[in-house]
Structures are given as structure tokens and as C-alpha cells.
């Protein structure tokens, strides 16, 4: 599948000559300005066939601008971009015929029925999947005759995803597909995205949920203020981080005695109650062993032990100096 998609990529246009052709999506020195605002400040990345690529960042980081340029929705201000070998500015029609898009906010006429919407959108493309199949796959079969206005938030989002799949696209752009949905629906949508990955579709996903990026993406680019500040697999990004693992131990009674300097412990704090000990360490296994030995020597009863490795969130906070959630 990987080779097939790469081979089917048509020759790139002159302006994109330097962009590599073995990627499904290539972006080089991409910029986007709105009046006085520089939303995207020269970013580079490539997405390979069958990859789930995440753009992670807070609101206003330039994620949506980036994907909307790639979807052919708005023109870029500078740099190069190619999706399936098409220039999103100049070959909009051909590009749009082959990609699937789930916008950050989708709206349809209030009185359109679910299946009608799928049939209508299917008619816009040169190839389309049967609406029955999509309805069943996205668990909308029961709702096929319902008006759009009567659907719940989760059902509307599933329909938005069904619409993105209506042309059986090779590349999917999902712009914050789970924002504002309850956890149950988010999990459903996560498993759908995992299915898309299993089908070897290339997916570009923007999100400001760290766990979504960690869970779903093969590679993640962290964006902040129009720039990519880090890029790699979630594991690579965590390794690159200077952050330390956090050990948290809850004791039955308060710790009153002073503790020694445990091996590799960088920072140790005790909560107000004196029962919860938090230790940051670069080599958590060794530190934890030493703490446990000391607690045992002190005859302390332990109620709970937590070991937390650095997350993408820690990486993000470290790189951008800000928290990710709104």
C-alpha cells in the first residue's frame, strides 16, 4: 500500500520541484499571513503514506491554517505544499476529489436527512462509497432517516466523519475531530481513526488533546505560534524531553523525620499533610528502590505508589512554556 500510493503520485509541478515525491504530503517553508497576523511562520514537514500525523498545539498555534492550506481551502502566502502531488492552490479540484475533510465545525441544512446528506455529498465526487455501508460503519444506520437538526453532537460528528469518507479518500484531514465531545464519543471516534489507520489511509489530525496525539499518531509535530517546535514519534518526543519521571508515594502516617539524598533524585517535596512524597528523578527505578528501602527502615506503612513518565504534555509545556488546554 505504501509503495502503491507513492507510485501513484503524479509528477510535481515546477514550483514544488524541491519537495520530495515519496511523501503523500510535503510542506516546505510554508507561511500564511492574515492582514497583519503571521499565522504560519515557515514550517516544513512530510507525511508518508499510511501514516497518522498529528499537529498538536494550543488554539491559535496555526494548526487549522496549515491543514486548510493543504485542503485547498485557503491560499498559502509563501513556501511550497503538495498533497498527493497536487498543488493545493492551483489544482484544487483534482485535490479535493481525492481527499476527505472533517472540518473543525461542520454544519448542514437543518432539514436534510442523514442518508440524503451522504448521497448528496457522494454525488460531488468522481468515485463514492455507498451510503448504506458508511451508515452502518459509523453506527448511523438507525438514524439514516433523521433530520440533521435532531442529531446529537456525537451523531453529528460521526456524520461529519462519514462525509469525509464518502469519496473513499487516500488522505484524510481531521481538524480537531473530538473537541467538545463527551469522553464516550471521543473514544468511539478514536477507534474510527484507528480503523482508518488500519486501512492504510494517510491521516492528518489536528488536536489540542495530548492523549489523543499520544494514542493515535505515528508522528506528532508540536506547533506553537506558527512554528513547529518539535517533531517525532510520541516516544521520541518524550525521550528528547529533559523532564524527569515523577514518583509519588502516599504513606499511612505523616513523615516527620528528615530524609536522606536518594540516588538520582532531583527534587523532593512533601505535601502539607506530610503523607504524600513527590520525587522527580532521571532514573526512577533506582530512586524508587532507595525510597522504598528507607521507608521500610522507618517502619512506614505505604498506601499508594505512582510512577509517571514524562508525557507529551510535559514536553509541550517544556518547549512552549505554556499549558495546552484552553
Partner 1 sequence: MKTYLALIKIDMKLALRMRSVIFFNYLFPLMFFFIFALLFRARTNPGAMIQVLSMVIPLGVVGNGLFGAGMRSIQEREMGILRRYKVTPITPGPLLVASMVTALFVFMPYILVVLSIAHFYYHMAWPANWLSILIFISLGLVAFRSLGMVIASTANNMQEGQILIQLCYFPMIFLSGATIPIDLESFPQILRTISNFIPSTYLVRGIREMMFTGKSILDEWELVLILMVAAAVGLTVGFKLFRWEKEEKIRPSAKLWVAAVILPFLIWGVVKYVKGEPAPRHSQRNQNSGPTQAKQFFSARHESGS
C-alpha cell at 236: 521520541
221 makes contact with partner 1 (CB under 8 A) = no
Question: In 10 A of CB 157, how many CB atoms?
Answer: 24
Decide whether 102 or 291 has the Cβ nearer to partner 1: 102
- Residue 51 CA, chain-centre distance (Å), reads 12
- Residue choice 37, 105, 252, 282 for contact with partner 1 (CB under 8 A): 105
Decide whether 97 or 236 has the Cβ nearer to partner 1: 97
- Residue choice 15, 18, 20, 111 for contact with partner 1 (CB under 8 A): 111
Beta carbon of residue 35, minimum distance to partner 1 (angstroms, whole number): 11
**How many helices (H) and strands (E) would you count in the chain?**
11, 13
Strand-strand pairing, 202-207 and 171-175: parallel
Stretch that binds partner 1, among 94-102, 261-269, 275-283, 304-312 (CB under 8 A): 94-102
Decide whether 100 or 226 has the Cβ nearer to partner 1: 100
Rounded to the nearest 10 degrees, the angle between the axes of helix 114-122 and helix 153-165 is: 20
Q: What CA–CA distance (Å, rounded) separates 234 from 56? A: 11
Phi, psi (5° rounding) for residue 209?
A: -100, 115
Residue with cell 440524503: 116
Q: What CA–CA distance (Å, rounded) separates 220 from 82? A: 19
Decide whether 166 or 312 has the Cβ nearer to partner 1: 166
Question: CA nearest 100: which of 62, 141, 138?
Answer: 138
- Residue choice 120, 292, 317, 319 for contact with partner 1 (CB under 8 A): 120
For residue 17, the SS3 value is coil
Question: Binding mask 52-91 vs partner 1 (x if CB under 8 A, - otherwise)?
Answer: -------------------xxx------------------
297 makes contact with partner 1 (CB under 8 A) = no
Beta carbon of residue 48, minimum distance to partner 1 (angstroms, whole number): 23
Beta carbon of residue 233, minimum distance to partner 1 (angstroms, whole number): 29
132 to 191, contacts with partner 1 by CB under 8 A? 163
- Residue choice 10, 75, 78, 109 for contact with partner 1 (CB under 8 A): 109
Amino acid at each position: 500500500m505504501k509503495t502503491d500510493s507513492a507510485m501513484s503520485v503524479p509528477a510535481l509541478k515546477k514550483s514544488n520541484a524541491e519537495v520530495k515525491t515519496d511523501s503523500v504530503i510535503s510542506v516546505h517553508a510554508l507561511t500564511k499571513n492574515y492582514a497583519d497576523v503571521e499565522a504560519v511562520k515557515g514550517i516544513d514537514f512530510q507525511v508518508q503514506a499510511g501514516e497518522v500525523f498529528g499537529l498538536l498545539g494550543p488554539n491559535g498555534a496555526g494548526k487549522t491554517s496549515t491543514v486548510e492550506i493543504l485542503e485547498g481551502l485557503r491560499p498559502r502566502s509563501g513556501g511550497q505544499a503538495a498533497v498527493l502531488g497536487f498543488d493545493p492552490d492551483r489544482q484544487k479540484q483534482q485535490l479535493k476529489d481525492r481527499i476527505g475533510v472533517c472540518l473543525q465545525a461542520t454544519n448542514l441544512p437543518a432539514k436534510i436527512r442523514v442518508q440524503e446528506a451522504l448521497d448528496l455529498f457522494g454525488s460531488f465526487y468522481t468515485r463514492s462509497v455507498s451510503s448504506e455501508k458508511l451508515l452502518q460503519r459509523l453506527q448511523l444506520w438507525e438514524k439514516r432517516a433523521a433530520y440533521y437538526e435532531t442529531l446529537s453532537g456525537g451523531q453529528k460528528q460521526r456524520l461529519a466523519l462519514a462525509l469525509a469518507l464518502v469519496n473513499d479518500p487516500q488522505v484524510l484531514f481531521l481538524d480537531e475531530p473530538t473537541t467538545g465531545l463527551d469522553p464516550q464519543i471521543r473514544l468511539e471516534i478514536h477507534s474510527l481513526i484507528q480503523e482508518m489507520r488500519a486501512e492504510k489511509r494517510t491521516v492528518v489530525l489536528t488536536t489540542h488533546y495530548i492523549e489523543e496525539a499520544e494514542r493515535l499518531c505515528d508522528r506528532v509535530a508540536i506547533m506553537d505560534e506558527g512554528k513547529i517546535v518539535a517533531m517525532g514519534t510520541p516516544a521520541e518526543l518524550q525521550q528528547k524531553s529533559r523532564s524527569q519521571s515523577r514518583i509519588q508515594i502516599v504513606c499511612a502516617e505523616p513523615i516527620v523525620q528528615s530524609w536522606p539524598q536518594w540516588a538520582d533524585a532531583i527534587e523532593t517535596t512533601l505535601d502539607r499533610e506530610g503523607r504524600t512524597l513527590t520525587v522527580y528523578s532521571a532514573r526512577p527505578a533506582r530512586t524508587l528502590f532507595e525510597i522504598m528501602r528507607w521507608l521500610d527502615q522507618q517502619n512506614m506503612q505505604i498506601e499508594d505508589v505512582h510512577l509517571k513518565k514524562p508525557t507529551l504534555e510535559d514536553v509541550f509545556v517544556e518547549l512552549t512554556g505554556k499549558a495546552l488546554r484552553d
